[in-house]
Amino acid sequence: MSESIKILPNGPYQVSPDTKLTIQSIGADADRISREWQQGPEYPEKLTAYFLCRCGRSANKPYCDGAHEAARFNGAETADRTPYAQRAKKYEGEAVDLLDDERCAQLRFCDAGIGAWNLAIKSGDPNNLELAKQECANCSSGRLTLVQKDGMPIEPDLPKEIDCVQDPPRGIRGPLKVTGGIPLTGADGQDYEPRNRYTLCRCGLSKNKPFCDTRHINCTHMEGFDSVSE
């Protein structure tokens, strides 16, 4: 297997043929607090490279249909390439620490209980530590990472795949959730830092391309949901 994602200049994400693509929804409780990822269907396996929309204008989401050309999509990548460990702020906790680089995708898994930051700070309580681990594992943008006191990150074991995020409480599509350390190469040919979790913008509006910066929540062209049958 050789999963990979390459960004095309002012165009889509080019994905290697053996990269699994699925739909996943935010499972929220009655208070609209995100609790779990709900697995949806998988798109048919591709024999050749495939192209995922990055501009948000495709009528065939999640795939590119060429609409980026008429839209004159500006896909310039502006994200800070400083490694996460250097970029992130550290919150000291009782049993573990929390790193936070503020690269948010508005998936809202960090809100449950007293919130991931307070859970980490009060991680001497085993219940708080367990919930902090869950919330950070579900933080698909990779913003939040728990680290042991010896500096070792606490990372979940995630499959190599791309998931098209659906946000039912908001009635919109979210970013592309990439897990398992799939390599990402910019349009300039430079590789991004390998990460176990990251979220790619697919509304075209992020000011931190190629990564999601939450702007999809306020754009009408991300309304509705993806479907494998469409």
> Interacting stretch for ligand FES, rule CB under 6 A, among 62-70, 80-88, 95-103, 186-194?
62-70
Q: What residues does 27 pair with on adjacent strands?
A: 36
Give 37 or 50: the residue with its C-beta nearer to ligand FES. 50
Site for ligand FES in 19-58 (CB under 6 A): 53-55, 57-58
Dihedral, CA of residue 41, residue 44, residue 48 and residue 50, to nearest 10:
-40
Give 36 or 65: the residue with its C-beta nearer to ligand FES. 65
131 binds ligand FES (CB under 6 A): no
Alpha-carbon dihedral sign for residues 3, 8, 13, 14? negative
Neighbours of 220 (CB within 10 A): 8
Give 38 or 74: the residue with its C-beta nearer to ligand FES. 74
- Contact partners, residue 159, CB within 8 Å, separation at least 6: 20, 179, 180
H helix and E strand count, the chain: 4, 13
Could you tell me if 28 and 206 are in contact, meaning their C-beta atoms sit under 8 angstroms apart?
no
Could you tell me if 54 and 201 are in contact, meaning their C-beta atoms sit under 8 angstroms apart?
yes
Give 67 or 79: the residue with its C-beta nearer to ligand FES. 67
Quote the least distance from Cβ 186 to ligand FES, whole Å: 15
What b/e sequence results for 155-191 when a residue is b if at least 16 CB atoms lie within 10 Å of its CB, and e otherwise? Answer: beeeebbbbbbbbeebebbbbbbbbbebebebbeeee
Helix, strand or coil, per DSSP, at residue 67: helix
- Which residue of 64, 110, 200, 212 would you call a contact of ligand FES, by CB under 6 A? 64
Quote the least distance from Cβ 81 to ligand FES, whole Å: 22
Quote the least distance from Cβ 68 to ligand FES, whole Å: 4
Give 93 or 210: the residue with its C-beta nearer to ligand FES. 210
Cis omega (within 30 of 0) for bond into 83: no
- Which residue of 65, 80, 102, 223 would you call a contact of ligand FES, by CB under 6 A? 65
User: Residue count at the site for ligand FES (CB under 6 A)?
Assistant: 12
Tokens 């990460």 locate to 195
Quote the least distance from Cβ 123 to ligand FES, whole Å: 42
68 binds ligand FES (CB under 6 A): yes
67 binds ligand FES (CB under 6 A): yes
Give 58 or 196: the residue with its C-beta nearer to ligand FES. 58
> How many whole angstroms separate alpha carbon 140 and alpha carbon 135?
10
Give 131 or 222: the residue with its C-beta nearer to ligand FES. 222
Binding site for ligand FES (CB under 6 A): 11-12, 53-55, 57-58, 64-68
